[in-house]
């Protein structure tokens, strides 16, 4: 069984400030973890994924996430928020690195960027 918990359904940051979106996972097998971004009325775009190669994963748009097994966490960060980062972010876990089988999504965190 697998699950993800995203802490905070809404996060607000000022433009230029650090972005931190939290995700904790639970998995009975070694997990593969993903972060997706969704803009209004659009599908999901993959930001980055952890596939056990490196614990610090760099993705698109300046985002990165660190896999911490001891904390069962995979938090998403960006050093400096941009207005275009305002969107909803989903953490997800899968039993395979391509995410091509059953993927379990978190409930999402809506990021607001304040000018």
Partner 1 sequence: GAVVSQHPSRVICKSGTSVKIECRSLDFQATTMFWYRQFPKQSLMLMATSNEGSKATYEQGVEKDKFLINHASLTLSTLTVTSAHPEDSSFYICSASGVVRGNTEAFFGQGTRLTVV
By C-alpha distance, which of 2, 50, 27, 24 is closest to 109? Answer: 24
Q: Is the Cβ of residue 14 or residue 26 nearer to partner 1 in the bound state?
A: 26
Does residue 99 bind partner 1 (CB under 8 A)? yes
C-beta neighbour count of 30 within 10 angstroms: 10
- Can you read off the two tokens belonging to residue 30? 């070694």
Q: Report the nearest approach of partner 1 to the CB of residue 60 (Å).
A: 10
Does residue 1 bind partner 1 (CB under 8 A)? no
Distances (CA, A) of 38 to 8, 35, 66, 72, 87: 16, 10, 21, 24, 6
Does residue 42 bind partner 1 (CB under 8 A)? yes
Does residue 80 bind partner 1 (CB under 8 A)? no
- Chosen residue from 44, 59, 62, 77 binding partner 1 by CB under 8 A: 44
- Chosen residue from 50, 67, 74, 90 binding partner 1 by CB under 8 A: 90
Q: Do the beta carbons of residue 71 and residue 25 sit within 8 Å?
A: no
Chain contacts with partner 1 (rule: CB under 8 A) = 9, 36, 41-46, 90, 96-100, 102-103, 105-108
């Amino acid at each position: 069984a697998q699950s993800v918990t995203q802490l905070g359904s809404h996060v607000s940051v000022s433009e230029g400030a650090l972005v931190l979106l939290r995700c904790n996972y639970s998995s009975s097998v070694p997990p593969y973890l993903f972060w997706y971004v969704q803009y209004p009325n659009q599908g999901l775009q993959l930001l980055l994924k952890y596939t056990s190669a490196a614990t610090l994963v760099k993705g698109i748009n300046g985002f990165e996430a660190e896999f911490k097994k001891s904390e069962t966490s995979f938090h998403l960060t960006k050093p400096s928020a941009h207005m275009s980062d305002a969107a909803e972010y989903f953490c997800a876990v899968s039993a395979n690195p391509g995410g091509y089988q059953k993927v379990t999504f978190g409930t999402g965190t809506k990021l607001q960027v304040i000018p």
